[in-house]
Chain A
Amino acid sequence: MMFFLQVLFGVLGGFFGGLGMGGGTLLIPLLTIFLGFNQQLSQGINLLTFVVMALFSLVIHSKNGFIVTKNLIWIILGGVVFAILGSVLATYVPSLVLRKIFGGFLVILAIVEFLKIFKKQGI
């Protein structure tokens, strides 16, 4: 049953990820809330599965010419340095605390998404 749920939640997260809506923000709370994973484990699993999925999408997207590389290096440069900082910090914060902060992050993202949806009534 546990294995079945793990696969099922993976499918759900992957589905929204494949649609380009951000699978991780769905997968992480599913794993933490319903399967009782500790927050760092859920986050680590999400990062690893994303890297594998991203490899495939990058090949497809670059073939279609959708990736714009101009000036991108600056964003990646700043990103890599602070990604190290954020990840190290995440492994030091107690799991329950990280879980609550992550919850706050999700609520903010959801509100921003709602605002965007109702701003662009046309879609």
Chain B
Amino acid sequence: MRKQKKSFKKSKNKVKNGFNVKKKLLLILLGGVIGFLNGFFGGGGGMICVPTLEKSLNLNNKQAHATAIAVIFPLSLISCFIYVFNGAVDSLPLLTVGLGVLLGGIIGSLCLKFMSSKILRILFSLIMLVGGIRLIL
């Protein structure tokens, strides 16, 4: 962490806009980690991408959420071609689950304004924790 901060300060002195080769390489590397995990786990890249964007590009929370989708979209597109090409996806469950996701996505987007985010986030994290443990055992 400390090293990163130092190198960032140096780069600021070198280039007026604060962006040099080192910073670009760091962005490529961060993107690589996001891309690899999102491809290997078939999702979850967004959860890593949002904090990454907030810190590396200084975006606010709303911008980071929206921009993360713009990052994950091309990565997921290329990943799902590979999954489909390798025969990992059956079409029937894809249709039923996909229908549900579409419905839920619309409801979720509409509910965004009315829901207390803290309780939902705790609930969400709890489900992830229990689900994760269940998958390992």
Report which A residues bind B (CB closer than 8 A): 3, 6-33, 35, 37, 40-58, 61-62, 64, 66-72, 74-91, 99-100, 102-107, 109-111, 113-114, 117, 123
Contacts and interface: CB of A to CB of B under 8 A. Distances in A.
Nearest to A37: B93
Nearest to A85: B36
Give me the 3 closest cross-chain CB pairs, A-B, nearest first: A10-B100, A43-B42, A18-B108
28 contacts: A7-B100, A11-B101, A13-B97, A14-B107, A16-B108, A29-B131, A29-B132, A33-B131, A43-B41, A44-B94, A48-B83, A49-B98, A61-B66, A68-B67, A72-B67, A74-B31, A75-B49, A75-B71, A76-B74, A79-B75, A83-B75, A86-B38, A87-B39, A102-B41, A102-B132, A105-B37, A109-B132, A114-B125
Given A32-B135, A110-B129, A14 B105 contact: yes
Given A82-B33, A86-B39, A117-B118, A14 B88 contact: no
Interface of B: 19, 24, 27-47, 49, 52-53, 56-57, 59, 62-63, 65-67, 69-80, 82-84, 86, 88-90, 93-94, 96-112, 115, 117-118, 120-122, 124-129, 131-136
A47 B83 contact: yes
A67 B70 contact: yes
A76 B96 CA distance: 31
A68 B50 CA distance: 12
A46 B47 CA distance: 14
Contact of B108 (A19, A46, A47, A66): A19
A14 B103 contact: yes
Contacts of B56: 75
Contact of A103 (B69, B82, B121, B136): B136
Given A18-B108, A83-B75, 8 more contacts: A26-B124, A32-B135, A54-B73, A58-B73, A77-B28, A79-B35, A86-B40, A99-B135
B69 A61 contact: yes
